[in-house]
Amino acid sequence: MEYIRTMKKKHDVLLIFLLGTIFIIISIVLPFLLGLDHLALLDAVWMSRLTQLTNPLMLAMPMVVFIDTVLFLPLYIGAFFIGEGISRMLSARWLSAVIPALIILTINVVMEFYTAASYPLTVSKILLTVGVVILQLMDQAFLPLRSKVFQFVLYFLALNWLNMVTWLTPYGLGTESLEARLKNLAEVFSFDYGLNIFSIMISLFLLFYLAISIYLGRIKKQSELEKNQAEHVRLKMAEARSGQEVLFLVHDLKTPLTSIQGLVSLIELKVDDKEIRSYTEIIEQSISSMNEMISDILFEKMRRMVPVREILNTVESERLSGSHQKLHIRTSAQMPLLYINKTRIVRALINLINNAFEAVANKQEGAVHLLVAETKDEVHFSVIDNGIGIPQEHLDKIWSIGFSTKDSAGAGLAFVRQVIEAHHGRMEVRSKKGDFTAMKIILPKGEKRLDEDLDCG
């Protein structure tokens, strides 16, 4: 499962990085293709000057905002994407703010030498860069990428409209050639006041929309946190209640087992038949095994050192007794000790083996293998089958309580994962639909876990 998550994360990061690169390439190429000399905007300016009418000017101003957006927005979106991708890859949120700022400033400085009319490093561009940094530094990691991009687009448009406000020209906003000429004409025609009010109103509307978007995002985050906490508490309460009920039931099993054990002892005293005695010995062994299982369940957190060979022998005797199914077991030469609750680990392994045999049930040459290997500090149990496999879209769901691809309660794999994690281990799964499934249990070696428990004690 961890492998699947890692691969999915790498795929997402690569896609984000690729999109960011494409946007930046577009932002570099567009000024050469759509320079102001290729547009009819200057015609509107000259028409306003010659006719002394403001109507062409009114048409030109939204066009300037639109063209600025088309020319420069891809650079900021591309830098935004690349910063997001790198920060996810390195798990460092601060990089999502620093990387875009460096990319934007570097490209502006470099491009100024080639397209000075299009890429001067103005106050507006500095404010846009600051906007990227602020939006990324805000606690919005929970937001999907499209929501962050939407918020930045609102900020970008709001700032572009502020560039049209003549009152802000002394502060460095709207100083590029075409914007400056449009604002000069507006002042000549005494249209500057109307232009300022109109531009400010649009900008305020966009900023208000941005604030609402950020606020709603935070409310959604808080709502999801509260919902997750409530669900977590509910599951914990249900788990505690069901666990307590199981303990009571298991404890009550001791009474009939004691009665059976007494009757078996009585039979051994009364009957001298060798065949019957062999049966009573088997019954006593089963009762002893049941008592051990009950003790392990009642005292779940109690651990003891158990050889791997003993675990495998128990799995074979319990899972395959009286069965025609063949489990192929392969182990390493060394058989280390594990510090575990034996009953629960055995049940976890049997659960995986049962699932594997079900997966190959309708296959003529179906086979199930149990491979045991070890590393320096760990022991790996791999249950591998060549059965029906698991669809990729289900790999993240199989550990959830209630999820099942069969007509069952869907608690088996959730139990396995719970047991393994309680033993400070982990689970891994690989599968291909129609081909194979490999479930791996990884547990720390007994000496390592015993030393850690003694240190904690």
pLDDT at 408: 44
Q: Residue 27: which H helix or E strand, with range? A: helix 2-33
Instruction: Report the distance separating Cα 441 and Cα 372, nearest Å.
Output: 10
Among residues 214, 232, 250, the one where a domain terminates is 232
In the three-class reduction of DSSP (H, G, I as helix; E, B as strand; rest coil), residue 118 is classed as coil
- Contact criterion met (CB below 8 Å) for 371 and 330: yes
Residue 249 lies in a domain: no
Residue span of the structural domain in which 85 resides: 2-232
Task: Calculate Rg over the CA atoms of the chain.
Answer: 35
- Specify whether 8 is located in the same domain as 130: yes
Instruction: Report the distance separating Cα 37 and Cα 52, nearest Å.
Output: 23
- Specify whether 315 is located in the same domain as 444: yes
- Specify whether 323 is located in the same domain as 219: no
Q: Where are the beta strands (DSSP E) in 245-326?
A: 304-307
- Contact criterion met (CB below 8 Å) for 34 and 67: yes
pLDDT at 344: 85
Q: Where residue 344 sits, what CATH number does that domain have?
A: 3.30.565.10
- Specify whether 209 is located in the same domain as 314: no
Which tens digit of pLDDT belongs to each residue from 118-177? 556 778 888 888 888 888 877 555 577 788 888 889 999 999 898 888 888 888 887 776
Residue 291 lies in a domain: no
Residue 100 lies in a domain: yes
Residue 273 lies in a domain: no
Which tens digit of pLDDT belongs to each residue from 198-243? 889 999 999 999 999 888 888 888 888 888 888 877 777 766 666 6
Chain centroid to CA 108: 35
Which tens digit of pLDDT belongs to each residue from 61-100? 787 788 888 888 898 899 988 988 888 888 787 888 889 8
Among residues 232, 258, 291, the one where a domain terminates is 232
Residue 434 lies in a domain: yes
Residue 450 lies in a domain: yes
- Specify whether 123 is located in the same domain as 221: yes
Residue 87 lies in a domain: yes
Residue 425 lies in a domain: yes
Instruction: Report the distance separating Cα 338 and Cα 145, nearest Å.
Output: 45
- Specify whether 228 is located in the same domain as 141: yes
pTM score of the predicted model: 0.52
Q: Where are the alpha helices (DSSP H) in 52-144?
A: 55-90, 95-112, 123-137
- Specify whether 217 is located in the same domain as 313: no
- 306, β-bridge pairs: 338
Instruction: Please give the average per-residue pLDDT across 363-383, as a whole number.
Output: 90
- The single residue listed with the structure tokens 């000496």 is 447
- Specify whether 102 is located in the same domain as 204: yes
Instruction: Report the distance separating Cα 241 and Cα 275, nearest Å.
Output: 46
> Both tokens of residue 312?
């495998």
Instruction: Please give the average per-residue pLDDT across 415-435, as a whole number.
Output: 88
pLDDT higher than threshold 70 for residue 446: yes
Kindly list the strands in the beta sheet with 368-374, ordered across the sheet, starting from the edge strand earlier in the chain: 327-331, 368-374, 378-385, 436-444, 426-432
- Specify whether 58 is located in the same domain as 199: yes
- Specify whether 32 is located in the same domain as 160: yes
Among residues 209, 232, 255, the one where a domain terminates is 232
Total domains, the chain: 2
